[in-house]
Structure 1
Amino acid sequence: MSNELTEWRDEWATALSGGAVSGETVELYLRGVDQFLRWLGEAHPDVTELETVKRKHGDEWLAYLINERKFAPATRRVRLLSIRFWFDYIVDEHDSPIVVNPFAKISLPVPNEKPVPVIPDEELRALLKTAAGRDFISLRDTAIIRLLLDTGARRGEVVDIDLNDVDLERQEITVTGKGRKTRIVPISASTALALRKYLRARAKRPAATSRPLFLSIRPHATGASRLTGGGIGEMISRRCVEAGLGHRWPHQFRHTWAHDLLDNNAAEQVVERLGGWSPGSKMVKRYGSSMADARARRKSKELARGDRV
């Protein structure tokens, strides 16, 4: 991998860290760029300068993601967008060695819009049972799982929560979403209690005076103590294995949360506001789609139209 490529990658990482996008999004973009650069170094070691990166390399890389990595269309789409955004940044710089994004005209993979299954209550109880200990990790993981379920917050939003965003008296959390927009979300008494217990354990940690609500076990190479979105994903995967469950992922909690609200007659506008979506967004329908038929059948049974005549 050439120094030029890595330098442009590192510069873009610095530009992204300015706060225009969430930490979770930065992590996602850089993951795509890093995967591409690793593949490029192995498949085309002779491609050592930006000017030698061509569209054909993008086509080959996407074929590799399909045939070797078995990535779904949605994942391939995100990976290609990451590379596009990176090259867009490079092209826009006044001293850039290239003037055209080589990946600009590659067709984006179209994701299969399969409804995401909600997590049944018995599985949620099993997950929580694996974190029933009194040690720091157990208390932290319990608080995170309950917060994901209670608020529908994205994992990037959860790790971005600071101590001063938590109001346990009102049982509310201030969440910073996409576009750095903030919203206040309510939490249940069970989640507030889990947070209180976690905060007592947190107060004994070396990074107790730092801003992040959720701390990693060990400081990062940069010295930062904030838990990452990837850390939450790894925690959920680990807890699923301990509970004997199939694969579950953090965003599935958001789908489950949306279904629960809709299933209990919450208006779509309410779900939009609490979930941080723009008014009229199609995302609410998408997030509630996995159980939409079940909700419709239940409502029809409640109405019992035929029994009225």
Structure 2
Amino acid sequence: MLSEYATHLRTVNNKHGRPYQEKTVRTYVEAVRALEQWMTRERLEDDFTALDTATVNNFFRAYYDSHDRGGTNSVQRNLRTFFSWLEDEFDVPNPYRDKKFQRYSAPTGGKPKTLSSDFITDLLKVTGNGHPRVREFEKVRDHAMIRVLTEGLRAEELLSLRLEYVNLNQGLLQVVPLKDARAAGEGRIIPLQPKTVIALTRYLRAREHHKLSDSGWLWLGSRNRGHLTYSGLYRMINRRAKDAGYDSVSPHQFRHTFADDLLSAGVAEGDIMTVAGWKDPSMLRRYAADMATTRAVTAVKRMGDRY
């Protein structure tokens, strides 16, 4: 279908009455490939004409969580033509015409929302707080996943972890570049907090009793389901948030909080960028902007009397 769509683009004009440039055709096709790869990971039927609005919304939510609002807005704009083509060619509903379609506007320089320390602490508490007597698979797994999210991984990076990427003896995780998001960051090594190492150790012990423990994927689903998907992660985070008495959040907000935590602790920007997989310092500044004033006030107060 992709080749058919590409041929269509090369034979029609854009909204300005001019032929699409080859670069634009490639960009539009790449957006469809990103959708196709997500469908494969989510084990969805490989049929674009069967996609409904809710599923398309889930894709954009997952894409946003591993990129940013600007990138998601671009992909959303680039896919508009594809869904219009599907509507005309196959007579199927266009999600972009649905009132329930969730749009991602272009960034306006707004500040990402940082999670409070109370929120994260309460989330850890409702998942057993790392107590060794907590043996329920879901709680042990969820606690470990929340701990790993505090290490600054993108949601898709977290879900792409395999057993061989975990080195608990040295307290390290290896993050491998995502095939559909190589521009977002290169492979890197993540140093783990001691409590994260303990949480992962307990999870791996609980994981041994899972029906699919032979799977190479690190994170397995509940009730003996296989590899955990983004929708499973999103539901887990918000179920635990509700248990703790909070509103829904995005897994990506843990990454914002990670940046603020390290800056507040005085970690050099270059070191944070290396661990987080950022090449552009503007990304770090944007992620940490939410608490910039608080950090500045704290830093000045720490100086005490200057005269």
Q: Give the counterpart of 1:213 among 198, 212, 218.
A: 218
In 2: Cα distance, 1:77 partner to 1:25 partner: 22
Q: Once the 2 structures are TM-superposed, how far is the Cα of residue 175 of structure 1 from its aligned partner?
A: 1.0
Q: d(CA) in 1 for partners of 2:31 and 2:78?
A: 12
- Whole-angstrom CA distance in 2 between matches of 1:209 and 1:248: 32
> 1:230 & 1:270 partners in 2: Cα distance?
31
Distance 1:227 1:148 in 2: 15
Q: If the length of structure 2 is used for normalisation, what is the TM-score?
A: 0.67
1:74 to partner: Cα distance:
6.4
1:250 aligns with 2:251: yes
Q: Deviations over 1:252-284 (max 9, x none)?
A: 110111000001111111111110111x33100
Cα 1:12–1:299, aligned 2, differ >3 Å: closer, same or farther? closer
2:211–2:224 contact (8 Å) kept in structure 1: no
SS of the residue corresponding to residue 232 of structure 1 reads helix
After TM superposition, give the deviation of residue 128 of structure 1 in Å. Answer: 1.2
Q: 1:24–1:156: 8 Å Cα contact kept in structure 2?
A: no
TM normalised by structure 1 equals: 0.66
Aligned to 2:77: 81
Tell me the CA shift for residue 16 of structure 1.
Answer: 4.8
Equivalent position of 1:154 in the other structure:
154
Number of aligned residue pairs: 240
Q: 2:306 aligns with which of 299, 302, 308?
A: 308
Q: In 2, are the aligned partners of 1:13 and 1:26 still within 8 Å (CA)?
A: no
| Distance in structure 1 (CA, Å) of the matches to 2:272 and 2:120 | 21
Name the structure 2 match of 1:260.
261
Alignment equivalent of 2:119, drawn from 115, 119, 123 = 123
Counterparts of 1:76 and 1:274 in 2: how far apart (Å)?
Answer: 23
Runs of 4+ deviating beyond 3 Å: 11-18, 23-27, 73-76, 84-87
Distance 1:235 1:16, change over 3 A: same
| Root-mean-square deviation over aligned CA pairs | 3.9
Counterpart position of 1:111: 107
2:278 counterpart residue number: 277
> Deviation per CA, 1:139-185, whole angstroms, max 9, x where unpaired?
10000000001x11011000100000000000000012431731110
Contact 1:74/1:112 (8 A) holds in 2? no
Shift of 1:124: 1.2
Distance 1:233 1:157, change over 3 A: same
SS in 2 for 1:206: coil
Residues 76/15 of structure 1: CA separation in 2 closer, same or farther (3 Å cut):
closer
- Partner of 2:252, secondary structure, is helix
Structure 2 counterpart of 1:203: 208
Structure 1: any 5+ residue segments left out of the alignment? Answer: 40-72, 91-95, 98-102
Judged with a 3 Å threshold, the aligned counterparts in structure 2 of structure 1 residues 193 and 109 are, in CA distance, closer, same or farther, namely closer
